[in-house]
Amino acid sequence: MNGMRKLHWLAVIYTLLLALPCTIMAMSALIYLTDYTIGLGGLLTGVINWNRLAVEGSTRWPELAGMLAGQLLILGILLIARHDRRRSDENLVDMAERNRALSERSALDHKPPPTQP
């Protein structure tokens, strides 16, 4: 039991160690972009052909819908599997308790005969 708690804390610590640098980089990029948003907006307006971008986006929406549907399907499968696992764990616990009760009962039923002096 103690080993599992140690493993849990190690996972939390390593996750934080990975998340902190990424968070710092993202915040730095956000600060940089916030300072230069007006310049970037003007640059994008002159460079990007918005009509072509709209046409391209409208042709690719089925790909996006397919990806979202696939992710929802995977999430549903994971939730169903988790629910099934919980139910099977409960069944295993019930079965173990029944077996223990049966073994105790059979031990009481098979008492050795009393010895005669």
Structure tokens at 18: 């990975």
Angle between helices 37-47 and 2-35 (to 10 degrees): 70
CA distance 110 to 103: 11
Residue 29: name the closest of 97, 21, 85 by CA.
Answer: 21
Q: Where are the domains of the chain?
A: 1-48, 62-108
Q: Is the pLDDT of residue 116 over 80?
A: no
- pLDDT for 53-102, tens place per residue? 888 888 998 998 999 999 999 998 888 887 766 666 666 677 777 777 77
Q: pLDDT band for position 117 (50/70/90)?
A: low
| CA quadruple 11, 13, 18, 20: dihedral, nearest 10 | 150
